[in-house]
Amino acid sequence: MDDINLGVPGPLLESLPDDGDGARQDMHRAVEGYNARLERAIEAAENDSEAAAHVLDLIEHFEARIEQFHAFVPELRAWGQSPIFAIAWRNLYADLIEQLYQHEWLATQLDRERNARLVEDGIRLSDL
Protein backbone atom coordinates (compact mmCIF):
# COMPACT_ATOMS: atom_id res chain seq x y z
CA MET A 1 0.00 0.00 0.00
CA ASP A 2 1.21 3.43 -0.89
CA ASP A 3 1.34 6.19 1.66
CA ILE A 4 -1.53 8.59 1.21
CA ASN A 5 -0.83 12.20 1.99
CA LEU A 6 -3.59 14.71 1.31
CA GLY A 7 -2.86 18.39 0.86
CA VAL A 8 -4.61 21.70 0.47
CA PRO A 9 -4.32 22.81 -3.16
CA GLY A 10 -2.41 26.05 -3.65
CA PRO A 11 -4.86 27.57 -6.16
CA LEU A 12 -7.66 27.10 -3.66
CA LEU A 13 -5.73 28.98 -0.99
CA GLU A 14 -4.89 31.73 -3.45
CA SER A 15 -8.57 32.13 -4.31
CA LEU A 16 -9.39 33.16 -0.74
CA PRO A 17 -9.63 36.86 0.05
CA ASP A 18 -6.80 38.61 1.90
CA ASP A 19 -8.66 38.34 5.20
CA GLY A 20 -8.93 34.56 4.82
CA ASP A 21 -5.87 33.65 6.92
CA GLY A 22 -8.06 31.96 9.51
CA ALA A 23 -9.72 29.83 6.84
CA ARG A 24 -6.33 28.91 5.39
CA GLN A 25 -5.12 27.73 8.80
CA ASP A 26 -8.37 25.86 9.43
CA MET A 27 -8.06 24.08 6.09
CA HIS A 28 -4.50 23.01 6.83
CA ARG A 29 -5.49 21.76 10.29
CA ALA A 30 -8.47 19.88 8.88
CA VAL A 31 -6.34 18.18 6.22
CA GLU A 32 -3.70 17.28 8.83
CA GLY A 33 -6.44 15.63 10.88
CA TYR A 34 -7.71 13.72 7.85
CA ASN A 35 -4.17 12.58 7.06
CA ALA A 36 -3.78 11.28 10.60
CA ARG A 37 -7.16 9.55 10.39
CA LEU A 38 -6.20 7.92 7.08
CA GLU A 39 -2.86 6.79 8.42
CA ARG A 40 -4.45 5.16 11.47
CA ALA A 41 -7.13 3.46 9.37
CA ILE A 42 -4.68 2.11 6.81
CA GLU A 43 -2.27 0.86 9.47
CA ALA A 44 -5.11 -0.91 11.28
CA ALA A 45 -6.36 -2.54 8.08
CA GLU A 46 -5.33 -6.11 7.46
CA ASN A 47 -5.55 -5.83 3.66
CA ASP A 48 -6.22 -3.42 0.80
CA SER A 49 -9.93 -4.16 0.81
CA GLU A 50 -10.32 -3.27 4.48
CA ALA A 51 -8.23 -0.12 3.99
CA ALA A 52 -10.46 0.90 1.08
CA ALA A 53 -13.54 0.44 3.27
CA HIS A 54 -12.11 2.90 5.80
CA VAL A 55 -11.14 5.35 3.05
CA LEU A 56 -14.62 5.08 1.52
CA ASP A 57 -16.12 5.99 4.90
CA LEU A 58 -14.00 9.13 4.81
CA ILE A 59 -15.02 9.85 1.21
CA GLU A 60 -18.67 9.56 2.20
CA HIS A 61 -17.97 12.06 4.98
CA PHE A 62 -16.38 14.39 2.41
CA GLU A 63 -19.40 14.00 0.11
CA ALA A 64 -21.75 14.93 2.94
CA ARG A 65 -19.63 18.01 3.69
CA ILE A 66 -19.70 18.99 0.00
CA GLU A 67 -23.49 18.85 0.01
CA GLN A 68 -23.65 20.86 3.23
CA PHE A 69 -21.39 23.63 2.00
CA HIS A 70 -23.06 23.63 -1.41
CA ALA A 71 -26.39 24.26 0.32
CA PHE A 72 -24.87 27.27 2.13
CA VAL A 73 -24.00 29.08 -1.11
CA PRO A 74 -27.50 30.23 -2.18
CA GLU A 75 -28.45 30.84 1.43
CA LEU A 76 -25.49 33.17 1.95
CA ARG A 77 -26.22 34.96 -1.31
CA ALA A 78 -29.84 35.41 -0.26
CA TRP A 79 -28.64 37.14 2.90
CA GLY A 80 -26.32 39.36 0.88
CA GLN A 81 -23.15 37.71 2.16
CA SER A 82 -20.23 36.38 0.18
CA PRO A 83 -20.24 32.61 -0.22
CA ILE A 84 -16.50 32.50 -1.00
CA PHE A 85 -15.58 30.52 2.13
CA ALA A 86 -18.41 28.00 1.67
CA ILE A 87 -17.32 27.55 -1.95
CA ALA A 88 -13.68 27.14 -0.88
CA TRP A 89 -14.54 24.45 1.68
CA ARG A 90 -16.80 22.67 -0.80
CA ASN A 91 -14.00 22.69 -3.36
CA LEU A 92 -11.47 21.50 -0.78
CA TYR A 93 -13.52 18.41 0.01
CA ALA A 94 -14.01 17.68 -3.70
CA ASP A 95 -10.27 18.01 -4.26
CA LEU A 96 -9.51 15.67 -1.35
CA ILE A 97 -11.72 13.01 -2.94
CA GLU A 98 -9.88 13.52 -6.22
CA GLN A 99 -6.53 13.17 -4.46
CA LEU A 100 -7.63 9.85 -2.99
CA TYR A 101 -8.72 8.51 -6.38
CA GLN A 102 -5.34 9.43 -7.88
CA HIS A 103 -3.82 6.45 -6.06
CA GLU A 104 -4.28 3.67 -8.59
CA TRP A 105 -4.42 0.77 -6.12
CA LEU A 106 -6.93 2.65 -4.00
CA ALA A 107 -9.19 3.76 -6.85
CA THR A 108 -9.79 0.16 -7.91
CA GLN A 109 -10.46 -0.95 -4.35
CA LEU A 110 -12.78 2.02 -3.73
CA ASP A 111 -14.86 1.15 -6.79
CA ARG A 112 -15.15 -2.45 -5.58
CA GLU A 113 -16.09 -1.37 -2.07
CA ARG A 114 -18.68 1.13 -3.31
CA ASN A 115 -20.25 -1.54 -5.53
CA ALA A 116 -20.23 -4.04 -2.66
CA ARG A 117 -22.04 -1.54 -0.46
CA LEU A 118 -24.66 -0.96 -3.13
CA VAL A 119 -25.34 -4.67 -3.36
CA GLU A 120 -25.26 -5.08 0.41
CA ASP A 121 -27.89 -2.35 0.77
CA GLY A 122 -30.12 -4.23 -1.66
CA ILE A 123 -29.92 -1.62 -4.37
CA ARG A 124 -29.76 -3.06 -7.85
CA LEU A 125 -29.39 -1.29 -11.16
CA SER A 126 -32.84 -2.59 -12.08
CA ASP A 127 -34.23 -0.67 -9.09
CA LEU A 128 -32.97 2.66 -10.41
Question: What are the boundaries of each domain within the chain?
Answer: 18-121
Alpha carbons 57 and 117: distance in angstroms, whole number:
11
102 near 7, Cβ under 8 Å? no
pLDDT score of 105: 79
Alpha carbons 126 and 128: distance in angstroms, whole number:
6
More confident residue, 23 or 104: 23
Grouping H, G, I as helix, E, B as strand and the rest as coil, residue 110 is helix
Q: What pTM was estimated for this model as a whole?
A: 0.85
How does pLDDT run across 58-90, given as a tens digit for each residue?
999 999 999 999 999 999 999 999 999 999 999
